[in-house]
């Protein structure tokens, strides 16, 4: 009997046909009214190419709130388990799985809902994660650092020593942008909305940190010596988008990947027409649908060591059991830091 078969049988004996807990959206609306802790069928034993993973940590993201409210690019049919990323331990592996084994910690694909006790998925690009890393930080790799990596590598080829500008610079994705830009030998101009976070963003490596507002383009030019900026990353929307656009060089690209202000973005027709500035959108969901295993592995090979070393990190406000989902969601709602479910 192979090790894989033994692991699978042991998992079947342990799990049987029991139910497990999952935090689910039962209708779209206000989180306090439509999010429930339900019993759902266990995932069962793995197929030949599948693994069963016990979820160790799964964060709450802004995307989860958008799904709950019914305003996201993809909406499941309620009742549906929430959560778009996480990590866990392999408790059973199919006979043909070679890249993971029982006991390995692994990333859960961002297509698999994670606010539950166990998940099952096809093991393709996944590799074992380091055991000595902070599991809560590892659980946040698949969305924000992945988005940051792709924003920096998929739109513009920036020469070493070149500049990138971004707003919302104290957000989780923006923090990852700062770290990844350094690993790619790029410099960052970081725009924030509050004076009190300037020193915080400088402390995590932001090369230039400025408060958004009038005259931003002139202030940025003074700080960078008038260096051309070919890429802007917009997470805020509203007039902040226009302020970023005014800082860009001809033929630059502005990428919009969220709208935290909730306001329609403002732009400059003159920049688009005469400076040929392009405006693009990015959603990880679109990228993930067509991404190859090789592209996923290459990205995570770059990101995992950075998270394990602490080069990429996000502030964590607290950890909660699934049973305490109401408190977890309430603490996560103001977006002052990350809240993590730890089902185990």
The residues assigned a catalytic role are 72
Q: Exposure string (b/e) for 105-130, b if CB count within 10 Å is 16 or more?
A: bbbbbbebbbbbbbbbbebebbeebe
What pairs with residue 316 in β-bridges?
Answer: 338
CA neighbor of 118 nearest in space, from 207, 14, 188: 14
172-183 helix and 144-153 helix, angle to the nearest 10 degrees: 50
Two tokens, residue 27 = 């209708």
Residue 15 to residue 54: CA distance in whole angstroms:
11
- Residue 181 CA, distance from chain mean position: 16
**CB of 161 closer than 8 Å to CB of 187:** yes
Residue 197 to residue 206: CA distance in whole angstroms:
12
Sequence length of the chain is 344
Contacts 24+ apart (CB under 8 A), 261-269: 261/236, 261/237, 262/237, 263/237, 263/238, 263/239, 264/237, 264/238, 265/234, 265/237, 265/238, 265/241, 266/238, 266/239, 266/241, 266/242, 267/241, 267/242, 268/242
- DSSP letters, 160-210, are TT-EEEESSTTSHHHHHHHHHHHHTT-EEEEEES-GGGHHHHHHTT-SEEE
Q: Biggest alpha carbon distance in the chain?
A: 71
Residue 72 to residue 63: CA distance in whole angstroms:
7
């Amino acid at each position: 009997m192979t090790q894989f078969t033994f692991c699978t049988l042991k998992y079947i004996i342990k799990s049987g046909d029991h139910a497990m807990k999952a935090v689910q959206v039962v209708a779209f609306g206000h989180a306090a009214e439509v999010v429930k802790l339900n019993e759902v069928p266990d995932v069962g034993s793995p197929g030949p190419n599948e693994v069963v993973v016990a979820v160790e940590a799964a964060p709450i993201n802004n995307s989860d709130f958008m799904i709950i409210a019914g305003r996201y690019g993809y909406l499941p049919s309620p009742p549906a388990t929430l959560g778009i990323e996480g990590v866990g331990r392999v408790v059973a592996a199919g006979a043909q799985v070679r890249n993971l084994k029982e006991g390995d910690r692994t990333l859960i694909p961002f297509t698999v809902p994670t606010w539950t006790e166990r998940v099952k998925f096809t093991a393709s690009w996944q590799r074992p994660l380091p055991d000595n890393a902070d599991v809560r930080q590892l659980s946040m790799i698949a969305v924000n650092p992945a988005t940051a990596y792709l924003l920096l590598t998929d739109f513009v080829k920036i020469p070493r020593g070149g500049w990138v500008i971004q707003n919302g610079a104290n957000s989780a994705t923006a923090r990852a942008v700062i770290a990844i830009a350094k690993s790619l030998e790029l410099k960052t101009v970081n725009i924030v909305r509050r004076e009190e976070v300037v020193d915080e963003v400088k402390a995590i490596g932001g090369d230039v940190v400025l408060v958004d507002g009038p005259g931003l383009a002139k202030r940025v030019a003074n700080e960078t010596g008038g260096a051309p900026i070919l890429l802007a990353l917009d997470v805020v929307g509203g007039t902040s988008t226009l302020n970023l656009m005014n800082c860009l060089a001809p033929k630059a690209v502005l990428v919009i990947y969220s709208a935290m202000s909730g306001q329609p973005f403002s732009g400059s027709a003159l920049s688009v027409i005469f400076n040929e500035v392009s405006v693009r959108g990015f959603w990880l969901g679109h990228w993930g649908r067509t991404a190859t295993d090789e592209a996923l592995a290459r990205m995570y090979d770059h990101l995992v060591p950075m998270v394990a070393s602490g080069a990429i990190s996000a502030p964590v406000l607290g950890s909660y059991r699934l049973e305490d989902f109401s408190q977890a969601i309430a603490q996560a709602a103001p977006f002052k830091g990350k809240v993590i479910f730890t089902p185990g």
